[in-house]
């Protein structure tokens, strides 16, 4: 996968998690603006004007994103959040970004300040318990990094369904939804599901789509 392709992911399956009433969005790790462009194309023809800001580490991707977003700031997301206005965004989006962060919880805590009252945080987070990857590890003894996916060589953190829940709770969020997305249909998975009586159903999904709101006390 080329860098231009990597940064242009539209992630259409995540659009439905953006609250319908949201008007001001912050896309953290916006890449080339593919998600914002798709969201605008879906909602603005229906009369919903969106204001979308983006944070992006890669300068080339940030340049492309400026074609689709109202404002794009280039640099480290955790540092850039400090310069954003308080209580401004109805929704903060983090599509496959937290796994690239050395301190993902620091970023989750930081963006609470920029969420407007009643705002939501929407995130897509890879599932390291995804069955095909565990099959490769347990049966084939393979754990090979690549250019994308769960074993993207740029990933610094790995998550499961329960560790995601713990992360949001520690950062002072209430997790409102956690849906498995991009399921495997492999026959090995179907057989495994039957043998385990559905007790490892979360292993079917490549990622989890999460919707959270600030609430509760932060915990160390």
Q: Per-residue pLDDT tens for 129-167?
A: 888 777 777 777 877 787 887 878 888 899 999 999 999
Q: Which tokens sit at 219?
A: 């915990």
Angle at 27 between CA 77 and CA 11, to 5 degrees: 125
Reply yes or no on whether the pLDDT at 5 is more than 70. no
pLDDT score for 4: 46
pLDDT score for 191: 82
The answer to whether 31 touches 59, Cβ cutoff 8 Å, is no
Q: Which of 85-89, 116-120, 144-148, 202-206 has the lowest mean pLDDT?
A: 144-148
- How far from chain centre, in Å, is Cα 118? 20
The answer to whether 114 touches 81, Cβ cutoff 8 Å, is yes
Q: Per-residue pLDDT tens for 181-205?
A: 998 888 787 887 778 877 788 888 9
Q: Express as a percent the part of the chain with pLDDT over 70.
A: 94
3-state secondary structure string across the chain:
CCHHHHCCCCCHHHHHHCCCCCCEEEEECCCCCHHHHHHHHHHHHHCCCCEEEEEECCHHHHHHHCCCCCEEEECCHHHHHCCCCCCCEEEEEEECCHHHCCCHHHHHHHHHHHEEEEEEEEEEEECCCCHHHHHHHHCCCCCCCECCCCCECCCCCCCCHHHHHHHHHHCCEEEEEEEEEEECCCHHHHHHHHHCCCCCHHHHEEEEEEEEEECCCCCC
pLDDT score for 3: 44
Reply yes or no on whether the pLDDT at 7 is more than 70. no
What is the C-alpha separation between 54 and 24, in angstroms, rounded? 11
Is the whole model's pTM more than 0.85, yes or no?
A: yes
What is the C-alpha separation between 41 and 215, in angstroms, rounded? 32
Reply yes or no on whether the pLDDT at 214 is more than 80. yes
What is the C-alpha separation between 177 and 179, in angstroms, rounded? 6
Reply yes or no on whether the pLDDT at 103 is more than 70. yes
Reply yes or no on whether the pLDDT at 59 is more than 50. yes
Sole residue written with tokens 């909602």: 43
């Amino acid at each position: 996968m080329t860098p231009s392709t990597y940064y242009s992911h539209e992630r259409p399956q995540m659009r439905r998690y953006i609250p319908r009433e949201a008007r001001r969005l912050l896309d953290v790790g916006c890449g080339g603006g593919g998600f914002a462009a798709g969201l605008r194309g879906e909602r603005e023809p229906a009369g919903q004007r969106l204001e979308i800001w983006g944070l992006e580490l890669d300068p080339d991707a940030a340049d492309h994103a400026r074609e689709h977003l109202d404002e794009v700031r280039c640099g480290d997301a955790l540092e850039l959040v400090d310069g954003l206005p308080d209580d401004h965004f109805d929704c903060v989006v983090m599509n496959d970004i937290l796994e690239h962060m050395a301190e993902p919880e620091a970023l989750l805590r930081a963006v609470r300040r920029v969420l407007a009252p009643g705002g939501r945080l929407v995130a897509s987070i890879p599932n390291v318990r995804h069955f095909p990857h565990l099959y490769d590890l347990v049966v084939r003894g393979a754990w090979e990094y690549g250019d994308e996916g769960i074993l993207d060589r740029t990933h610094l953190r790995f998550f499961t369904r329960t560790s995601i829940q713990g992360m949001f709770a520690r950062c002072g969020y209430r997790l409102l939804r956690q849906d498995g997305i991009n399921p495997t249909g492999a026959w090995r998975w179907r057989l495994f599901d039957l043998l385990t009586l559905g007790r490892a159903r979360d292993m079917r999904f490549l990622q989890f789509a999460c919707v959270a709101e600030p609430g509760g006390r932060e915990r160390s």
